[in-house]
């Protein structure tokens, strides 16, 4: 799986939008962009994933650059519960038995201030 680069930490205020960036300049055409988050003392939680087009779900939005070399996870209104480590991970589509595992980096620690 290709490597991603994220800031070590970010801060946000409650009820404000948060934009978490991720760079993946060596992404291949068959790599999906996945985001997971991990709250303290819990297992990772799936947030969102996409391939080329922007994606929205009840938790967040994923904005993917036109060249796919970067993406941004958008939390529309941060709450205290959103304080977590956010991981951006690339995963191959999986044809021909490509890897199925998630390769976690160090992620971005998001602090949310009341």
Partner 1 sequence: DTGVSQDPRHKITKRGQNVTFRCDPISEHNRLYWYRQTLGQGPEFLTYFQNEAQLEKSRLLSDRFSAERPKGSFSTLEIQRTEQGDSAMYLCASSLGGGGRYEQYFGPGTRLTVT
CB of 74 to partner 1, least distance (A): 18
Applying CB under 8 A, the residues found at the interface with partner 1 are 30-32, 34, 36, 42-46, 49, 51, 85, 87, 90-95, 98-107
Q: Which is nearer to partner 1, 63 or 102 (CB)?
A: 102
Task: Choose between 13 and 30: whose C-beta lies nearer to partner 1.
Answer: 30
What's the min distance (Å) between Cβ of 36 and partner 1?
8
Between CA 106 and CA 34 the distance in angstroms is 14
Distance between CA atoms of residues 50 and 90, nearest Å:
10
Q: Which residues contact 26 (CB under 8 A, 6 or more apart)?
A: 2, 3
Is residue 108 a contact partner of residue 49, using CB atoms and an 8 Å limit? no
Lookup: tokens for 21: 């960036």
Both tokens of 95, joined, read: 């044809």
Residue placing its CB nearer to partner 1 in the complex, 90 or 112: 90
Q: Which is nearer to partner 1, 80 or 98 (CB)?
A: 98
Smallest distance, partner 1 to C-beta of residue 14, A? 26
Least spacing, CB of residue 59 vs partner 1, in Å? 12
Nearest to 2 by CA among 35, 37, 30, 38: 30
């Amino acid at each position: 799986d290709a490597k991603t680069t994220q800031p070590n930490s970010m801060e946000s205020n409650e009820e404000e939008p948060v934009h978490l960036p991720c760079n993946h300049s060596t992404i291949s055409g068959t790599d999906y962009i996945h985001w997971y988050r991990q709250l303290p003392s819990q297992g990772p939680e799936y947030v969102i994933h996409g391939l080329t087009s922007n994606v929205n779900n009840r938790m967040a939005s994923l904005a993917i650059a036109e060249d796919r070399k970067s993406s941004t996870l958008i939390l529309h209104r941060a709450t205290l519960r959103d304080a977590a480590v956010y991981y951006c991970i690339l995963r191959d589509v999986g044809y021909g038995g490509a890897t199925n595992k998630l390769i976690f980096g160090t992620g971005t620690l998001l602090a949310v201030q009341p």
